[in-house]
Chains A and B, each alone.
Chain A
Amino acid sequence: MTDAANTDRWIRWLNTVQLVLAGVLIMAPTVWMVLSSFKPSFEVTAYPPTLIFTPTLDNYVELTKTTPFLSYALNSLIVTVGSTALGLLFGIPAAFAVSWTRISWPAILTLAARMAPGTLFLLPWYVMFRQVGMIGSYTALILSHAVITLPIVIWVLLPSFDGIPRSVFEAAQVDGCSVTRILWRIALPLVASGVAVSAILAFVFSWNYFLFALVLSNGDTKTLIAAAFNFMGEGSTQWGALMAAATLIALPPLVLAALVQRWLVSGLTLGAVKG
């Protein structure tokens, strides 16, 4: 065997090892969470952890019995869908405008807002929303979560819009299109997969966001992720129910990502490759 072939074999082997290690590191907590949600409650915290056990749905039953789980789930859905829609409504034209005018500071501003710690917004928002009597309303939660979704939509779509040859837009201008019409008739259909990816990512990030809902919601509008925090009681945490809740909370983003995995990759690389 030649040296080159030997080196290739080593590189392939090392790649496999790296992938397996990364996979174990990423997946182990998730697998542990899902398995624990099906364990009897006394086995959840057992040390060493049991791998062989009789699966039970008791934790899920207890979760729905002891908490208004479904209503929390509905709250999460309303806030997430609302903030994703809001992000798309403003993010699509914003990304197109940034790409069209090549004035990038508005996009950088939204990114800075996304990078800033959530606590920076929390206090002013709390005061503002309280003054207008909106604390605990879906509107306050949806508006606050738009800070999460809007930058995602803008920054996922920006390279997609940039990837469309400028001459295609110019051809549409010469054909008689206004800028708004170019966005809806030409640009948007061309970045459809980017829109889907940005919507999914915005949904996932908004669904998982904890801080705003913790402070700005009330008992009626609490989202799942904020409610799960309450499962950790002082001294008497229901670990089994908590694991069941965590599994259910993680389910929608995981299912979404799995369903559109191929789209997700092509959408994220859109604009990077001309074609």
Chain B
Amino acid sequence: MASISIRNLVKRYGSFTVIPDLNLEIADHEFVVFVGPSGCGKSTLLRIIAGLEPITSGDLYIGDKRVNGVQAAQRDIAMVFQDYALYPHMRVYDNMSFALELRGTPKAEIDARVKRAAALLHIEPYLDRKPKELSGGQRQRVAMGRAIVRNPKAFLFDEPLSNLDAKLRGQVRAEIKALSQELKTTMVFVTHDQIEAMTMADRIVVLQNGTIQQYDTPETVYERPANQFVAGFIGSPAMNFFPVEWREERAILSQGATVAPLDGEAASRLQRAGNAVLGIRPEHFAVATDAADGIAINVKLVEPLGSDTLIHFDLADVSAIARVDPALRPKLGDRLSLRPQPGKTHLFDAANGQVLR
């Protein structure tokens, strides 16, 4: 078990810079999720920690040890790959015992550790099978078992759920979280799926273009996004953004003359900035009983999800979504009055996207 510390890390491939300058501290026993769109550098960062990619400049510490030039084999880190990367010619048992065998662990101890991990992951019946005889979910468990038996300093997961179907993904997600609580080991998990990030992480690292946009707890990242990118990336459906400006002592949506429904504190922030981007999550709209109290919209599309209903509408030339009570069943073209819940609006700098405080 160990902390991971990344200081002034730069990663370049030739003249192409993937990570310009990154600092990150992952505490011992912490479950940290790297999340971001494709090409944001999250997998590269994970592979750098694993020792599979060299560092261009900067420092990487695992525990107290600087590991910049240390081979992957010597880092005592276990990794679960996106395609599981099981050894196809070895039985499940041998896949799991291989690393211990390389370290010269006594046979009896190997056997005990493999069986303990197999019991934990419910794969005991498959120990004599080859990987090709297993389903995707079973292979995934074997890959985790291979990591667990080693009792490593840290676990690294590189999008391990992306090859599973939706139902299995939810199940394995819960299992990994339970496992992290049981093993109490530092875990770093890479995903592009913000639901995985929100449900599993102690802290989330939101990455874009190799730069950390926000590093905080899931609750904070959701409720107080640091900038417009984080606000748009975390949450599904994504946050709605409307250009807004302070005009005639009122907040007005920039396209058209609709008055933006801002509470006092947000209004004063906008007044100071002059113009901004107003962010409202779909779930933070409420249907106003009094038409004068909200913004009038025309229903463009209705998506009933069972648990709630998504209403698509256009406002000030922006396509937007509101998540409302499933009991409310508006029809196409119906006129509704929506108002954001108090204290749930976000204002971002129109120029650089940073949150206005």
Contacts and interface: CB of A to CB of B under 8 A. Distances in A.
The yes or no verdict on A and B being binding partners is: yes
B73 A178 contact: yes
A173 B73 contact: yes
A28 interface: no
A170 B81 contact: yes
Interface string A44-68: 0000000000000000000000000
Contact of A173 (B72, B88, B146): B72
Contacts of B86: 168, 171
Given A167-B81, A167-B82, A174 B103 contact: no
Given A167-B82, A167-B83, A175 B99 contact: yes
A168 B51 contact: no
Q: Which one of A165, A167, A175, A177 has the greatest number of beta carbons of chain B within 10 Å?
A: A175
Contacts of B190: none
A186 interface: yes
Contacts of A168: 85-88
B229 interface: no
Nearest to B98: A175
Contact of B89 (A170, A175, A190): A190
Given A167-B83, A171-B79, A176 B99 contact: yes
B62 interface: no
Contacts of A170: 50, 52, 72, 79, 81, 85
A165 B72 CA distance: 18
Nearest to B80: A171
A181 B72 CA distance: 14
Contacts of A173: 51-52, 71-73
A189 B94 CA distance: 14
Given A173-B73, A175-B98, A190 B88 contact: yes
A172 interface: yes
Interface in A152-201: 165, 167-168, 170-178, 181, 185-186, 189-190
B78 interface: yes
Q: What bracket does the count of chain A residues touching chain B fall in?
A: 10 to 19
A173 B86 CA distance: 13
B32 interface: no
Interface in A189-224: 189-190
B88 A177 contact: no
Nearest to B158: A167
A182 to B, nearest CB: 10
A174 B77 contact: yes
Given A174-B78, A176-B103, A165 B51 contact: no
- Interface of chain A: mostly helix, strand, loop or mixed: helix
A174 B157 CA distance: 12
Contacts of B51: 173-174
B102 interface: yes
B38 to A, nearest CB: 18
Contacts of B88: 168, 190
A181 to B, nearest CB: 8
A171 B86 CA distance: 8
Nearest to A182: B73
B81 A176 contact: no
A171 B103 contact: no
Interface in B77-132: 77-79, 81-83, 85-89, 98-99, 102-103
B73 A171 contact: no
B176 to A, nearest CB: 18
Contacts of B71: 173
Interface in A7-56: none
Given A173-B72, A174-B78, A176-B73, A165 B83 contact: yes
A175 B102 contact: yes
A173 to B, nearest CB: 4
Contacts of A172: 87, 98
A174 B89 contact: no
Contacts of A174: 50-52, 72-73, 75, 77-79
A251 B79 CA distance: 52
A238 to B, nearest CB: 52
Given A176-B102, A177-B73, A178-B73, A171 B87 contact: yes
Contacts of B73: 173-178
A171 B80 CA distance: 8
A172 B40 CA distance: 26
Contacts of A190: 88-89
A181 B99 CA distance: 12
A127 to B, nearest CB: 45
A87 B82 CA distance: 36
Contacts of A186: 87
Interface string B255-295: 00000000000000000000000000000000000000000
Shortest beta-carbon contacts, A-B, top 8:
A167-B85, A175-B99, A171-B85, A173-B72, A176-B102, A167-B81, A176-B73, A189-B89
6 contacts: A165-B83, A170-B79, A174-B51, A175-B73, A175-B98, A176-B103
Interface of B: 50-52, 71-75, 77-79, 81-83, 85-89, 98-99, 102-103, 146, 150
